[in-house]
């Protein structure tokens, strides 16, 4: 196979942090090459070096047999490389067509009629469908991801970089995206797929390179690795030391916890919420959460899960209904008041709702409880730094220092900061966790689920919304399914037929 990209002894540092060391990598045309590793292993840095978002400090690159050293993304685009970033770059107020036409000064300068023709051709070749007249801000997460890929392919690249493209997608959308990756590779292009989900690697990959600590831990055809070997290369631990349900997706027998007779700590009654388009996102939702209980919500995206977390967290105002915590009516309370009453919230979108990228890691770790660090009217910066240092160590957050800007962390490490902050609320009475493991590597997922179990063991009620059914099955005491604004179920996660029952409920059927 013809070589598309070759990296030799590549190294990159950010201050005192060594992100990549002596990385060798070869990507062939016609293949999907998966790059995997823990959060902070250097995966995104590697993509940014190839795409011209950062300059390498050591080593060399060759692209299609020629020396290659981009100074900016425009150089990469001119050389036939396109990239879909971990965080979307669409302008929400513009239409899809306007977003696709953005980029004056690059290879893409198309009149509207030609754009329509080109997009139609991509639909025929790759099955990618977009509504050119829709506003980007009104699209679902999966639709926005599709637009990003179409924007990438319009530039006719020979090498496509996808940095954690499935982190924000549901199961059906993930399957569609992986099928697109296969089609792109089959068209003679090369695809670099950054992920840490073994199921995705096995479904789409031809070859794999594992990064650990900024170095190549293993590389070669995917067929040359067993699943156990990939796990050990990624996290430095054997499969047996991890929760196998997270790796295999199978239910693992465990004790059933009975919460019958325990008074609820949180009550949700008759919640209704209407979207701007007039559709009912929440249609009379009823829910009770008991101390020590972990309740999961599964479902296809767009069935009201996001709005439920938004209303309970105070980010959205309900049309009707009530939310009580410890007997206190918090239905109209501000997020700050909810936090003061012991409500922790891990939001679905960490980048826009869970953190402030321009602030330091220490500041993000203490947001919402700065009152705990006031001394005579002033903030005790030493106490904040000490608290942050402890959280960084406890949650294995890879940051150069507590004072480092949040924006310098990888997406997975930003998620760890959000999780650490919300679990530090004292006393934590109820935790709302929306996609709490999104963007985390296998070892970090295992650790976060343990933290959620610890929160429940301390007496908190925990509500988890997740697309990851294996996580819900191994974590929860009962699982509900969001369907058209209502909660169906419950399903016993220890039931051997739980997966099938949940799948039926996702479709609105019970048999």
Note the pLDDT of residue 220.
Answer: 93
Instruction: Select from 171, 252, 172 the least CA-distant residue to 493.
Output: 252
Residue 333, pLDDT > 50, answer: yes
Note the pLDDT of residue 244.
Answer: 53
Domains by residue range for the chain, with CATH: 3-241 (3.40.50.300), 266-506 (3.40.50.300)
Mean per-residue pLDDT, 402-417: 86
Which DSSP category does 405 fall into? B
**Residue 105 confidence class, pLDDT cut points 50, 70, 90:** very low
> Per mean pLDDT, which of 90-99, 287-296, 468-477 is the most reliable?
287-296
Q: How many CB atoms within 10 Å of residue 171?
A: 17
Query: For residue 215, what is the enclosing H or E element?
Result: strand 215-221
* Cα separation of the two ends of the chain: 49
DSSP, residue by residue, 125-162: HH-----TTSBGGGS-HHHHHHHHHHHHHTT--SEEEE
Query: For residue 322, what is the enclosing H or E element?
Result: strand 320-325
Q: How many CB atoms within 10 Å of residue 34?
A: 27
> Per mean pLDDT, which of 250-264, 307-321, 408-422 is the most reliable?
307-321
Mean per-residue pLDDT, 89-104: 81
Note the pLDDT of residue 241.
Answer: 47
**Residue 418 confidence class, pLDDT cut points 50, 70, 90:** very high
Residue reference for tokens 């924006």: 407
Note the pLDDT of residue 64.
Answer: 93
> 224: exposed, middle or buried (C-beta count within 10 Å: 0-12, 13-18, 19+)?
exposed
- The mean predicted confidence, pLDDT, of the chain is 86
**Residue 170 confidence class, pLDDT cut points 50, 70, 90:** low
Query: Each residue of 61-88: pLDDT tens digit?
Result: 999 999 999 999 999 999 999 998 877 7
Query: Each residue of 255-311: pLDDT tens digit?
Result: 667 888 899 999 999 999 998 878 899 999 999 999 999 999 998 778 899 999 999
Query: Each residue of 427-451: pLDDT tens digit?
Result: 999 999 998 987 777 777 888 898 9
CA dist., res. 39 & res. 43, Å (int): 8
pTM over 0.95: no
Q: How many CB atoms within 10 Å of residue 413?
A: 23
């Amino acid at each position: 196979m013809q070589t598309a990209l070759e990296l030799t002894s590549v190294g990159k540092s950010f201050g005192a942090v060594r992100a990549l060391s002596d990385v060798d990598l070869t990507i062939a045309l016609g293949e999907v090459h998966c790059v995997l590793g823990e959060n902070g292993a250097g995966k995104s840095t590697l993509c940014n070096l190839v795409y011209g978002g950062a300059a390498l400090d050591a080593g060399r690159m060759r692209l299609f047999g020629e020396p290659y050293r981009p100074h900016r993304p425009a150089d990469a685009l001119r050389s036939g490389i396109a990239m879909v970033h971990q965080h979307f770059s669409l302008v929400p107020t513009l239409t899809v067509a306007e977003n696709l036409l953005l980029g004056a000064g690059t290879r893409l300068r198309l009149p509207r009629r030609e754009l329509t023709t080109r997009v139609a051709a991509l639909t025929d070749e790759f099955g990618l469908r977009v509504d050119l007249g829709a506003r980007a801000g009104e699209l679902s997460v999966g639709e926005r991801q599709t637009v990003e890929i179409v924007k990438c392919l319009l530039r006719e690249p020979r090498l496509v970089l996808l940095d954690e493209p499935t982190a924000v997608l549901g199961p059906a959308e993930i399957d569609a995206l992986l099928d697109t990756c296969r089609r792109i590779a089959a068209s003679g292009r090369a695809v670099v797929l950054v992920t840490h989900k073994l199921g995705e690697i096995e479904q789409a990959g031809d070859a794999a390179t594992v990064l650990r600590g900024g170095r190549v831990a293993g590389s070669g055809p995917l067929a040359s690795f067993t699943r156990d070997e990939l796990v050990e290369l990624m996290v430095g631990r054997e499969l047996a030391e991890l929760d196998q349900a997270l790796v295999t997706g199978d239910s693992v027998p465990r004790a059933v916890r009975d919460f019958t007779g325990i008074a609820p700590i949180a009550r949700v009654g008759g919640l209704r919420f209407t979207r701007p388009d007039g559709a009912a996102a929440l249609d009379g939702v009823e829910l009770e959460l008991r101390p020590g209980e972990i309740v999961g919500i599964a479902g296809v995206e767009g069935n009201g899960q996001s709005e439920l977390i938004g209303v309970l967290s105070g980010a959205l105002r309900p049309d009707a209904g009530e939310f009580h915590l410890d007997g206190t009516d918090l239905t109209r309370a501000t997020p700050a008041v909810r936090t003061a009453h012991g409500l922790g919230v891990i939001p679905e979108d960490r980048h826009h709702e869970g953190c402030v990228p321009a602030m330091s890691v220490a500041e993000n770790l203490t947001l919402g409880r700065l009152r705990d660090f006031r001394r005579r009217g002033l903030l005790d910066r030493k106490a904040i730094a000490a608290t942050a240092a402890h959280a960084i160590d406890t949650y294995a957050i890879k940051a150069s220092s507590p004072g480092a800007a949040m924006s310098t962390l990888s997406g997975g490490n930003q998620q760890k900061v959000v999780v650490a902050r919300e679990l530090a609320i004292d006393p934590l009475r109820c935790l709302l966790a929306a996609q709490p493991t999104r963007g985390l590597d296998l070892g970090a997922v295992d650790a976060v689920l343990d933290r959620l179990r610890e929160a429940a063991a301390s007496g908190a009620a925990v509500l988890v919304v997740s697309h990851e059914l294996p996580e819900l099955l191994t974590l929860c005491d009962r699982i509900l399914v969001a369907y058209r604004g209502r909660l169906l179920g419950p399903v016993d996660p220890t039931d051997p037929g739980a997966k099938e029952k949940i799948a039926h409920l996702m479709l609105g059927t019970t048999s």
